[in-house]
Amino acid sequence: MTGLPPPSKKKLGLVIDLDTCVGCHACAVSCKEWNAGGIAGPLTDTDPYGKDPSGVWFNRVHSYELEPVPACGSGHDATPAQPAQTLHFPRSCLHCETPACVTVCPTGASYKRAEDGIVLVDEDKCIGCKLCSWACPYGAREYSAVEGVMKKCTLCVDRIYNDNLDEAERQPACVQACPTRARHFGDLGDPDSDISKLVAARGGVDLMPELGYRPTNQYLPPRPRRNGASEAEADARGTAAELDAGNPLQRWMQRVLRR
């Protein structure tokens, strides 16, 4: 089985803002376009225009209708009912600190880079046994039936370190393409980085922290909807609800991923 390097100080990853993601799939399409010709290419499709199309996508976006929150209380102190809300949930590799996909790999094809924490696949070593996909609780591994190997998000490692690109373009393709700036990239191992400060300010969360894989990527929860209430009132209600119910966003994401 494959070992893990010592924890790195540099932890490159993504932060995804679920409050501003509109589910446009620009991240998925740009990811597919860039990586189809990069180090992970080709990203093959099977019967793309047929009855049962399938293919390799490093980034997928799922949309869910959340149940409306009913009103509570009575009279002037009543909290108004929250309207139904559509939540768009992008999903890709989380580049975990202790990834199960790496430690189960029998050939060393799945590995974690010591210098920046990115998890990659060496396709020359991959035998397509799919152990990594079974071990990953986040469904982030993709099997190429055409090539017989596993593939996954590379965090656009061939782009973020590309000196031939302008510095502003040295970001993952999904981040560059997002029209609402719902995706952010940076060093989550540096508490003073812009992306770490964003996580701290918005209360970014891990997916399934109880599993102990310590994902690098973080999700920012949706902000409370106002419904005519003042910002202070809405914030107070959101805080009270979190204290009363733990972390509802985290519990919801866990239920979705376990389906």
What pLDDT digit, counting tens, does each position of 61-113 carry? Answer: 999 998 776 666 666 665 666 677 889 999 999 999 999 999 999 999 999 99
**pTM for the complete prediction?**
0.82
DSSP 3-state of 15: strand
Tokens coding 168: 């502003």
Q: In whole angstroms, give the CA distance from residue 71 to residue 69.
A: 7
Identify the pLDDT of residue 138: 95
Identify the pLDDT of residue 94: 97
The alpha-helical segments, DSSP class H, found in the chain are 26-36, 100-103, 131-135, 157-160, 173-177, 194-202, 231-245, 248-257
State percent of the chain over pLDDT 70: 81
Identify the pLDDT of residue 73: 63
Show me where the domains of the chain are located: 23-63+83-176
Among all chains, which residue has been given the structure tokens 């990659």?
Answer: 120
Identify the pLDDT of residue 242: 47
Q: Which stretches in the chain have pLDDT values below 50?
A: 228-234, 236-245
DSSP 3-state of 234: helix
Cβ 92 vs Cβ 109: under 8 Å: no
Tokens coding 251: 């519990």
Among candidate residues 159, 147, 162, 151, the one with its CA nearest the CA of residue 120? 151
**C-alpha 224: how far from chain center:** 21
DSSP for 39-98, written as a single string:
TT----EESTTSSS-EE--S-EEEEEEEPPPPPBS-GGGPBPPPPPEEEEEEE-----SS
CA distances to 52, 61, 129, 194 from 45, rounded to whole Å, are: 11, 18, 20, 37
Identify the pLDDT of residue 18: 96
- CATH fold label, 23-63+83-176: Alpha-Beta Plaits (3.30.70)
Tokens coding 5: 């390097």
Rg of the chain taking only CA atoms, in angstroms: 20
Strand pairing report for 183-187 and 149-151: unpaired
Cβ 184 vs Cβ 15: under 8 Å: yes
